[in-house]
Amino acid sequence: MRDAHGLLLPLLFLSACGGGGGGSAQPAESPGGIWFGSDSASEPVVVYIAETGDLKAQLTLPGEIRTSFGTGLVGVSSGDALAGSFELRGPAPPGATQQQDLGCAISGTVDERRLLSAAISCSDDNGVVYDESLELTYDALRYEAGSSLDAIAGNYTLSLSPDTNMLNVVGDGTLFGMYDNGARCTVNGQATIIDEAYALIAIDWSFSGCTDALDLFEGVEMSGFAMPNPPSNFTLEGYYFLLTGRTSRGLHVISVLYEPV
pLDDT tens by residue, 204-218: 999 999 998 889 999
pLDDT on residue 132:
98
pTM attached to this predicted model? 0.89
Buried b (16+ CB within 10 A) or exposed e, 154-183: bebbbeeeeeebbbebeeebebebbbbeeb
What's the mean per-residue pLDDT of the chain?
89
6 pLDDT higher than 50: no
Write the pLDDT tens digit of every residue in 43-76.
Answer: 999 999 999 999 999 999 999 999 999 999 999 9
* pLDDT given for residue 8 in this prediction: 40
Rounded Cα distance between 24 and 22, Å, is 7
Question: In this predicted structure, what is the pLDDT of residue 120?
Answer: 98
- In this prediction, residues 2-7 reach a mean pLDDT of 46
Model confidence at 14: pLDDT above 50? no
**From 6-15, 115-124, 220-229, the region with the lowest mean pLDDT:** 6-15
Helix (H) or strand (E) holding 157: strand 154-157
For residues 195-224, give the mean pLDDT.
Answer: 96
- Give the whole-angstrom CA distance, residue 231 versus residue 103: 25
Pick from 57, 116, 48: nearest CA to 86: 57
Q: How far apart are CA 211 and CA 214, in angstroms?
A: 9
Say what the pLDDT of residue 93 is: 72
pLDDT in the model for residue 250:
93
